[in-house]
Structure 1
């Protein structure tokens, strides 16, 4: 399942404070529910309890009122925890405060960018036996590459700021890997893999054993709730973006590793 940027009524970004910014383009829970289902495949635990700041700067015509109870309930359904708002019209501020949200217009929230000073990703994982050697996909990692030598287990996350991530022993269901560049997985790719996290549409995901729950390139998602297509299930595969007019779609191509 894929979505293209022009059709989204909500977009998610990361900040250096660790909070997610939910950039809203509409406020009606019904419309947002449809966008979230298409974007995230209905996965109820996608955000894992992350804090969120609701940004209303992209709304062209402010509504007369906001259904705060419905809006917050919808976001919490995806394990997103709204804590505040910004760029909200002043006449709607009282409702936000009554809903328990802070007004954060005076707080500097710098979004993460590939130009930030690279920092080590939280790649500490539990000891585990080394995976058997596999034939690597043909791709050259970028600078600032993060190497993960042990299997990434359920509940663990790795983020490669400003570069690629290379998983030398694969990852399990329930794990998540995020990279501003590309993702290279030498072993089973399970869980969620998000490449081009800061909008790099040229990023790719390469795996020798393809079987994730979700893949994303530059914010365009595809989920596999109906299973992985037989052509590349458990085999080598490469994920990339293709463009058709203004729409961007996820494409998956088999990799010949012999």
Structure 2
């Protein structure tokens, strides 16, 4: 039976991960050549991914960016530009005129797993290391069923396990975001935001040895903890699952399961 609602709209968290195209030049000819080298002529290399154009690294005094040409060029490679990061105030009107949003985030020296660089002299790589602090990159191991992270996930970092579970053996700090199409397992304190079942898997769960997240989501249904995590479960082993449209939090301590 189709679910009905008395409201004409429903808001859920939709975990959409965008590729960050980090530009060091706005020369569309050079970018075109770099993307051809990167993709090796494979027409569906990017599969219509959303893209955030990061212009933070473009030198001051560089020629104005032709936003129309840049957006069309990215679309040719099946990258759909949705926002611009690092724009100056003088760029804002031209960016909005192209229907793009302004992203106030900043780019760090390390690139998340789903971020790419587009430069005139780009080495033939499309995907960088998993999100990490510039001074201490995270180490990721991807097995057939899971992505494994063995280093802390720091504030401002995002890790996305596409098509698999995410296993983290170190702390997820406040301000960090961990996402998985499958379940999330944190064998350490879980703070920050944890979003499981990002592709709609309602059976996904979130497990942690020390649970105190800022926000959790399973298959787009989310719950925040602005008033604090449940005191009887805070900093305790727990799991989070979806029951209907309700987020449930269950203790994993032996005493509570006896």
TM-score by length of 2: 0.50
> For the Cα contact (< 8 Å) 1:144–1:161, is it kept in 2?
no
> For the Cα contact (< 8 Å) 1:148–1:167, is it kept in 2?
yes
Distance 1:256 1:11 in 2: 29
- Root-mean-square deviation (CA, aligned residues, Å) is 3.8
| 1:154, distance to aligned residue in structure 2 (A) | 1.3
Query: Which one has the largest radius of gyration?
Result: 2
The match for 1:100 among 93, 96, 121 is 96
Which residue in 2 is equivalent to 1:188? 189
Gaps of 5+ in 1: 20-49, 53-80, 85-96, 105-111, 113-118, 129-140
Matched ranges for 1:140-159 at <5 A: 143-159=144-160
Which residue in 2 is equivalent to 1:160? 161
Matched ranges for 1:105-144 at <5 A: 122-125=130-133, 127=136, 143-144=144-145
> For the Cα contact (< 8 Å) 1:209–1:237, is it kept in 2?
yes
TM-score by length of 1: 0.50
| 1:103, distance to aligned residue in structure 2 (A) | 6.1
Which residue in 1 is equivalent to 2:172? 171
> For the Cα contact (< 8 Å) 1:204–1:240, is it kept in 2?
yes
Structure with bigger RCO (C-alpha 8 Å, 6+ apart)? 1
| 1:155, distance to aligned residue in structure 2 (A) | 1.5
| 1:205, distance to aligned residue in structure 2 (A) | 0.2
For residues 34-54 of structure 1, what are the alpha-carbon distances to aligned partners after superposition, in whole Å with 9 as ceiling and x for unaligned? xxxxxxxxxxxxxxxx959xx
Helix, strand or coil at the partner of 2:207: strand
Which residue in 1 is equivalent to 2:249? 252
For residues 74-129 of structure 1, what are the alpha-carbon distances to aligned partners after superposition, in whole Å with 9 as ceiling and x for unaligned? xxxxxxx9649xxxxxxxxxxxx99934369xxxxxxx9xxxxxx7862445549x
Runs of 4 or more above 3 Å deviation: 4-7, 9-13, 15-19, 81-84, 123-128, 141-144
Which residue in 2 is equivalent to 1:219? 220
| 1:17, distance to aligned residue in structure 2 (A) | 4.5
Helix, strand or coil at the partner of 1:166: strand
Distance 1:15 1:166 in 2: 19
| 1:171, distance to aligned residue in structure 2 (A) | 1.0
Helix, strand or coil at the partner of 2:216: strand
> For the Cα contact (< 8 Å) 2:12–2:222, is it kept in 1?
no
Distance 2:233 2:220 in 1: 22
Which residue in 1 is equivalent to 2:241? 240
